[in-house]
Structure 1
Amino acid sequence: MSTATTPQTGTDPDLAPASDRPSPSTNPSRSASPSPSPNPSPSPSPSRHARRFGLPVATALVMGNIIGGGIFLLPASVAPYGTISLVAFGVLTLGAIALALVFGRLARRLPMTGGPYVYAREAFGDFAGFLAAWSYWITTWVSNAALAVAAVGYLDVLVPVHESKAATIAAALTLQWLPALASLAGTRYVGAVQLVATVLKFVPLLFVAVGGLFFFDSANLGPFQASEGSALGAVSASAAILLFSYLGVESAAVSAGEVRDPRRNVGRATILGTLGAAVIYLLGTLSVFGTVPHDRLVDSSAPFSDAVNVMFGGSWGGAAIACMALVSMVGALNGWTLLSAQTPYAAARDGLFPKAFAHKRRGVPTVGVAVTVVLASLLTVYNYTAGTQGVFEILVLVTTFTATVPYLLSTAAQIHFLISGQADRVHRPRLVRDAVLALAAFGFSLWLVAGSGYAAVYQGVLFLFVGVLVHAWMSARRQRAAAGAEVEAEPAP
């Protein structure tokens, strides 16, 4: 394949001229389409503010994006189903690891910024690539708005901002714009903030998760299955709540162009980050189950705070957990803000998004970051001023569907590469292993779609159809540009 010419080290494939980047010649559906118009190339001279991520920062990016604020409520959310919810957690962890392994294999093949967009476009053509980019972009900026709103709730425990609507809005916007400013300052600052935020939230969470085991009392666990119905129904019901805990496993793949030696480090970072998040999730939930009595946990609004209070006495757990949650969400906002610009950047370089998204400064697609934070800010202000909490919740639920579209396309792309004989270093045992992983990851992605619910899928499809109109507009512009170039190239009579 043409991707074999992509430099493995020392050169960012996304900074190479369009002619030097992997071509889609292996895809017949795209070879017949007009070539995308050339996009402006970034400055060839590297900026001191731009720095490629090593393995530790890439791992922190994955772990920081997976672990947001939901972990602080998860034990109470699944407690009504009993400890059988831990079984659902285990199944989901296996699915997430399978998805992470597939992303690692795909990143070795196509180590470029864009992740799922790149994989879908290479396998199925421009339209599939655009759908992956469009749906992922929707996910990022709506999720950023949701994270900011949730972070304000934890901030209110420390500083009473709820007394003034203006103060609440200002706090939410500040929490969005600070990570955006870090991104605009350059990738070196994004990486530094992400690494610090991940350490600050990982250490105390691990402390609670491990420390809780020393105060573990099996009498607190309650019944194995606390809900009515079959065991399979209880697993599925609790899984529907836990399903989206692992969104973010693709983080390193999306930013592959900013990772040093991406063929090697993206896969490692994806696996390490996913495993690290899984350890925190499973140990944390188990520790809370074993320290807080089940009847109290079911009605808890701050299960980790309750666990800390049981472990050490007093009532200081609320403030401590609020600080941890705030750091966790700011770290997630920092990582998701960068990711929100990476996929549109890759699509814009191929002519599938407006070319303004292809401009990079200090290693960061500045237009993508700016547009994303503005859209998220407008959505946040609308949520607070209109008071239509139901509308906002629907939009957030839609992101759970839109996030799975790139997953499905990526795993389908891997299956396509394997069946079509495009697998790297053809080796039967490796092919069988990769095929099993790809099928497992595809099934996991379908489970995510099912867990979104009918309303989310319905609304999400409408969002995708809006994207179809954008794709039609961009495709028409590309064809007109190609036709104009052909007319100019014709010799004069």
Structure 2
Amino acid sequence: MHVPGTAPQPAPAPQATPAAPAPTTPTDDTAGSTGRHARRFGLPVATALVMGNVIGGGIFLLPASVAPYGTVSLVAFGVLTVGALALALVFGRLAERHPRTGGPYVYAREAFGDFAGFLAAWAYWITTWVSNAALAVAAVGYLDVLIPVNDHRWTACLAALVLQWLPALANFAGTRYVGAVQLVSTVLKFVPLLLVAVGGLFFFDADNLGPFDATGTGTIGAVSASAAILLFSYLGVESAAVSAGEVRDARRTVGRATVIGTLGAALVYLLGTLSVFGTVAHDRLVTSTAPFSDAVDAMFGGTWGGWAVALAALVSMTGCLNGWTLLSAQTPYAAARDGLFPAAFARRRRGVPTTGVAVTVVLASLLTVYNYTASSAKVFDVLVLVTTFTATVPYLLATAAQLHHLVSGRHDLVDRPRLVRDAVIAVIAAAFSMWLVAGAGYAAVYQGVLFLFAGIVVYAVLAARRGRTP
């Protein structure tokens, strides 16, 4: 999952290497975006991209995951929503300043130079393709409810690969089809989610809620413990900012789409969790493996809830894969155009960086095959936890870039109220990002740092090659 500009014109970005290509301009991002199959996103599709990427398949297990902590987890959700909205507002401001494809990469590079930009792009790229593999494997579990595929390991592996390549093919077809798939999948998955989130309120029974603090550690301790599970629910708030070059009137649309998408995701999260808490008995919810299915069964009777939720989760994850596949190519594309990623990543067809999509889906497929070959989820789970750390690297660099602009910029007295407001929002977003790092755990941070150090080697090679270029 996510979540996620102030002054007139920013100062030119510092260039670490004189031979580096000129920075991409806003108009450069429109190049290659014309044609029948390439279409720039409007507010509805940009908002769907944010909501679709923030809300993946995890929401269908979320109520059961936080039920052991009691209803205090709803308080934790509220606190996290404030942090996610602060991050969304920061991305909106930065996109107003730099309406270009690349999101956190662009903001970090403009503020701190090539190396910071590369780290943001490298960390975000790792996050996207490892997350895609994780999403596909998780989606197979829901597909197995509809069609038995887990009976044999290689059948499940093939299903996971198909679930990855179908969204990739939509991306190869052009941004027109990416936007269409994203919009349709977002609408389809929200129908059953809203059915439970809103309909469950009519079947709400306070006796099902259980204790406020089921841990007995005190409110603050319970909030922190449940927040550790919920922290990653808002990953993806940066989705519209990363694809800003494909968004119409990006200076206005990206910020609005980011805030609206984050608010929409928060509303579904909170209402959905509250409704499940109120329709499924607490003792049963703690051990539930399909809380939304149990809620539908409790509301309407029967056992068809499992099928309905499995189908909704499958649609949700397919749409999520579609959006993340596009994002996985956009950041390397922007970095490649600035000479900070291999030049092949700068190739684009029908508005989509096809090389980035191809490399991403191949790497995710190899990781998926490795997961099934190893016959152990432990290695794969560690890699997934690493992505929760690597995602925070571009978040922190983006919020640091916003603080840099606010502190170093020249502001008139008229701008002082907005300056103070933006500074407070940026500080909250930075604290939220640091909280994400803490929630990832020691092992994930350790492994994630190794991934970042591997990127430093890649950066050194690319910098040396650029230095030899006349």
Amino acid aligned to 1:34: P
Question: Which position in structure 2 is the counterpart of 1:263?
Answer: 251
**Corresponding residue for 2:12?**
26
> Is 1:66 aligned to 2:54, yes or no?
yes
2:423 to 423, 435, 443: 435
- Counterpart residue number, 1:36: 20
| Residue 73 of structure 2 is aligned to residue 85 of structure 1 | yes
> Does the aligned pair in 2 maintain the 1:119–1:410 contact within 8 Å?
yes
Give the equivalent residue in structure 2 for 1:227.
215
- Cα pair distance change 1:45/1:153, threshold 3 Å: closer
For 1:336 and 1:405, the matched residues in 2 are separated by 17
Q: Aligned runs of 1:463-482 on 2, under 5 Å?
A: 463-481=451-469
Report percent identity of matched pairs.
Answer: 77
Structure-1 residue corresponding to 2:377 = 389
Cα pair 2:33 2:350 within 8 Å, conserved: no
Tell me the equivalent position of 1:173.
Answer: 161
Q: Does 1:190 find its partner at 2:178?
A: yes
Matching residue of 2:39: 51
2:150 counterpart SS class: helix
Q: Which moved more, 1:185-194 or 1:204-213?
A: 204-213
2:376 is equivalent to residue 418 of structure 1: no
User: How many corresponding residue pairs?
Assistant: 461
- The 2-side partners of 1:357 and 1:113 are apart by 13
Change (3 A) 1:157 1:265: same
TM norm structure 2: 0.95
Are 2:104 and 1:116 equivalent residues in the alignment? yes
Q: Is the 8 A contact 1:417 1:423 kept in 2?
A: no
- Residue 290 of structure 2 corresponds to 302
| Equivalent position of 1:316 in the other structure | 304
Equivalent residues of 1:109, 1:424 under 8 A apart: no
Once the two structures are TM-superposed, the CA of residue 229 in structure 1 deviates from its matched residue by 1.6
Classify 1:32/1:389 alpha carbon distance in 2 versus 1 (closer, same or farther; 3 Å): closer
CA deviation digits over 1:206-244, x for unaligned, max 9?
111000000000000000000132221110110000000
CA separation in 1, counterparts of 2:12 and 2:305? 57
1:472 Cα deviation after fit: 0.4
Conserved? CA contact 2:45–2:183, under 8 Å: yes
Counterpart contact for 1:39–1:355, Cα < 8 Å:
no
Alignment-mate amino acid for residue 275 of structure 1: L
Alpha-carbon separation, structure 2, partners of 1:294 and 1:265 = 42
The Cα of 1:169 is off from its aligned counterpart by 1.0
> Aligned residue for 2:366?
378
RMSD over aligned CA atoms reads 1.8
Which protein has the larger Cα radius of gyration, Structure 1 or Structure 2? 1
Query: In structure 2, how many angstroms separate the alpha carbons of the residues matched to 1:130 and 1:45?
Result: 24
| Ranges in structure 1 where 5+ consecutive residues have no aligned partner | 6-23, 486-493
1:139-178 alignment runs, 5 A limit: 139-178=127-166
CA distance in 1, matches of 2:454, 2:414: 40
Q: Is the 8 A contact 1:402 1:460 kept in 2?
A: yes
Q: Superposition pairs for residues 235-250 of structure 1, below 5 Å?
A: 235-250=223-238
Residue 206 in structure 1 maps to residue 190 in structure 2: no
Q: Quote the Cα distance in structure 2 between the aligned partners of 1:366 and 1:64.
A: 21
Query: 1:4 Cα deviation (Å)?
Result: 6.6
How many angstroms does 1:36 deviate by? 1.2
Question: Which is worse superposed, 382-391 or 323-332?
Answer: 382-391
1:258-312 CA-partner distances (Å, limit 9, x unpaired): 0000000000000010000001000000000000000000000000000000000
Match of 1:9 in 2: none
Does the aligned pair in 2 maintain the 1:186–1:361 contact within 8 Å?
yes
